[in-house]
Amino acid sequence: MKKALVIMIMMAMVAVAGSAIAATATSVFNVSATVQPTCSITTGASAIAFGTYDPLSATPLDGSGTVSFRCTRNTLYWTYIPGPWTIAGPAVDTLAMDFYSDAGHTTLFNTGKVGGGTASPNNAPQTITYYGRIPINQYVAEGAYSQNFTFTVEY
């Protein structure tokens, strides 16, 4: 019985010693990915319904709309509304109008890619308000006037 106990103790010591001298081998590997610059419209540009234009009024007709978009962080982008900015009416008549980037109607919205662009600060949606104005003293025929415009985010 003593002999069996001694054998069991020796086997336990060999097992412990075997685990103490265990070895490992490793291999390092690389993982890579590329993030492309991209932008997308998240909420389409809203329509501007100016209402009734009175060519005899001394007050311009104003309206505004919004659009939301998002770009990958640090992506350079440009926003613009290509021209010409006229609203088609009956026969050959058109109403001239302008788009502004501010509520005070002092800074015209760009009609194309201008300047160095803006870097997207993060991936969150950004909302831009554009302000439309139909100036006074346009002597046009009565009738319905309508035109589609395109809000552009170029990146």
Tell me the pLDDT tens digit for each residue of 103-139.
999 999 999 999 999 999 999 999 999 999 999 999 9
Alpha helix (H) ranges present in the chain?
2-20
* CATH at residue 89: 2.60.40.1090
* Mean pLDDT, the chain, whole residue set: 91
How does residue 44 score in pLDDT terms, banded at 50, 70 and 90? very high
- What does the alpha-carbon distance between residue 77 and residue 71 come to, in Å, rounded to a whole number? 8
* Residue 88, in any domain of the structure: yes
The proportion of the chain whose per-residue pLDDT surpasses 90, expressed as a percent, equals: 85
Domain that holds residue 59: 39-154
* Residue 139, in any domain of the structure: yes
pLDDT of residue 4: 58
* Residue 68, in any domain of the structure: yes
* Residue 56, in any domain of the structure: yes
Give me the torsion for CA of 14, 18, 19, 22, rounded to 10°: 170
How does residue 22 score in pLDDT terms, banded at 50, 70 and 90? confident
* Residue 120, in any domain of the structure: yes
- What does the alpha-carbon distance between residue 68 and residue 45 come to, in Å, rounded to a whole number? 7
* Residue 78, in any domain of the structure: yes
Least confident of 13-17, 72-76, 95-99, 116-120: 13-17
Report the domain count for the chain: 1
